[in-house]
Amino acid sequence: METAVRGKIAVVTGASRGIGKAIALGFAREGAAVVVAARSESARDERLPGSIHETVAEIEKHGGQGLAVRCDVTDEAGVTAMVETALETYGRIDVLVNNAAIDFPFPVTEMPLKRWELVMRVNTTGPFLCSKAVLPAMIAQGRGSIINISSQAATERGSGTVGYSAVYAASKAALDRFTWALAAEVGKHNIAVNALKPAGVVDTEGMRLWVPQEERQGWTSPAAMVTCAVFLAKQDAGGVTGTVAVDDEYICWHGLKVSEDT
Ligand SMILES: NC(=O)c1ccc[n+]([C@@H]2O[C@H](COP(=O)([O-])OP(=O)(O)OC[C@H]3O[C@@H](n4cnc5c(N)ncnc54)[C@H](OP(=O)(O)O)[C@@H]3O)[C@@H](O)[C@H]2O)c1
């Protein structure tokens, strides 16, 4: 069943910059209160601008409601504390967006074990820990929506200049399968679980860090991802669930209209 986003409480991980920040702003524009969760309380590096407080300030500047909570998604105690803060502040959690992710695009032969393990911890264990932490509240409420931000790296081999690192591809393939399994597990509690991926490359601070200016042709804004995240936030197990798809597919299948106003 589809319901309005207005009045919902949404947790968005990795919302200090990039797609997560755009989704947080998009949810707030639709009238949700947004828990902005990431590690940066201030910009740590000029190549990676953005912080949880800047995102909340932007939400509030546009008349929305946001709460900045520092959280490392690999730290179980920190994730639990973030969810407790959200529940103490708003009393419920309706939507979780597992967006936080990292990549170290090195060949396997040059990849240190600790880098491999960190990518898997952020991209795969993080969504598990955040889902585990919000599910008791969603189950008690009798509805909820979990949105896993995945990547075509999970299923595409990569070609030309678009190669994927083995660890990133593996972590996102695991996230896709996690999405299916969790959707089946929590459907009886009326909770939707879906994965959403960009069809193309979205211009974000994280992408710019690894790709030189001359190779950035055809990059898009996060507008389509925001439109789809808003659509998926409205779902429960009676609506769209267990779907793993790119933004263009959700847009086509459900007749969504993308606004560039993100
Ligand atoms: N951009 C694309 O073209 C593209 C394509 C396919 C899929 N995606 C997916 O879309 C999502 C967003 O990508 P993006 O390009 O917007 O990335 P980005 O610009 O690098 O932003 C990543 C976000 O994740 C947060 N983060 C990283 N490690 C974290 C941790 N341990 N705990 C909490 N937060 C953490 C970062 O915040 P802090 O540093 O403040 O913690 C930041 O807010 C990711 O899941 C990515 O895999 C993106």
Provide the pLDDT for residue 203.
96
**CA-proximal residue: ligand 1, atom 23 (nearest):** 14
Average pLDDT over residues 142-152: 98
Using alpha carbons, select from 179, 149, 147, 150 the residue that is nearest to residue 164: 150
Which residues, in sequence order, are CB contacts of 241 under 8 Å at separation 6+? Answer: 183, 187, 191, 192, 193, 194, 235
**CA-proximal residue: ligand 1, atom 25 (nearest):** 14
- Alpha carbon of 104 to ligand 1 centroid (Å): 12
Q: How confident is the model at residue 159 (pLDDT cuts 50, 70, 90)?
A: low
- Alpha carbon of 98 to ligand 1 centroid (Å): 10
Ligand 1 pocket check for 79: Cβ under 6 Å: no
User: CA-CA distances (angstroms) from residue 4 to 8, 27, 107, 233, 236?
Assistant: 8, 11, 44, 9, 12
Cβ-based burial of 129 (10 A; exposed 0-12, middle 13-18, buried ≥19) = buried
Please confirm, yes or no, whether 164 is among the known catalytic residues: yes
Task: Say if 239 falls within a structural domain.
Answer: yes
Q: How confident is the model at residue 114 (pLDDT cuts 50, 70, 90)?
A: very high
Task: Say if 261 falls within a structural domain.
Answer: no
- Alpha carbon of 188 to ligand 1 centroid (Å): 31
Task: Say if 259 falls within a structural domain.
Answer: no
Q: What is the extent of the structural domain holding 43?
A: 9-254
Q: Are 137 and 93 in contact (CB under 8 A)?
A: yes
**CA-proximal residue: ligand 1, atom 6 (nearest):** 151
Provide the pLDDT for residue 162.
54
For the chain, how many structural domains are there in total? 1
The per-residue pLDDT of the chain, averaged, comes to 95
SS3 label, residue 99: coil
Tens of pLDDT along 10-34? 999 999 999 999 999 999 999 999 9
Provide the pLDDT for residue 125.
98
Task: Say if 218 falls within a structural domain.
Answer: yes
Q: Are 192 and 237 in contact (CB under 8 A)?
A: yes
Q: Are 52 and 24 in contact (CB under 8 A)?
A: no
CATH number for the domain harbouring residue 24: 3.40.50.720
Ligand 1 pocket check for 222: Cβ under 6 Å: no
State if pTM tops 0.95: yes
Block residue for tokens 């990795």 = 14
**Looking at ligand 1, which atom is closest to the CA of residue 103?**
47
The total of other beta-carbon atoms located within 10 Å of residue 30's CB is 20
